[in-house]
């Protein structure tokens, strides 16, 4: 809708407006991605639970410190 509206309003006077709108949309998308923050520990913390048997005790202690009361 944005491109259609821009085209219909500016085709006679400023045909390059489509490129300006396109470049602005890409710049806005890039700006929005700069605000996305990833978790510090990586994806492992999101999928590994304290009861997961695939991790050893040392890895479990690193992911789930003893200060947090986590059932084993």
Q: What is the mean pLDDT of each run of 10 residues along the chain (72 residues)?
A: 93 93 97 87 56 70 66 56
Same domain, 68 and 46: yes
Task: State the sign of the Cα–Cα–Cα–Cα dihedral 53, 58, 62, 65.
Answer: positive
Is residue 44 domain-shared with residue 26, that is, in the same domain?
A: no
Same domain assignment for residues 28 and 50? no
Q: Which domain holds residue 63?
A: 40-72
Q: Are residues 20 and 44 in the same domain?
A: no
The Cα 58–Cα 55 span in angstroms is: 8
Report residue 65: phi and psi, to 5°: -55, 155
pTM given for the model: 0.51
Two tokens, residue 41: 């520990």
Q: CB count, 10 Å around CB of 15?
A: 10
């Amino acid at each position: 809708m944005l491109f259609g509206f821009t085209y219909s309003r500016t085709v006679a006077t400023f045909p390059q407006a489509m490129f300006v709108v396109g470049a602005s949309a890409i710049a806005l998308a890039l700006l929005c991605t700069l605000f996305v923050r990833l978790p510090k520990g990586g994806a492992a913390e999101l999928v590994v639970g304290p009861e997961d048997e695939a991790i050893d005790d040392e890895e479990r202690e690193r992911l789930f410190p003893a200060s947090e009361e986590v059932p084993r």
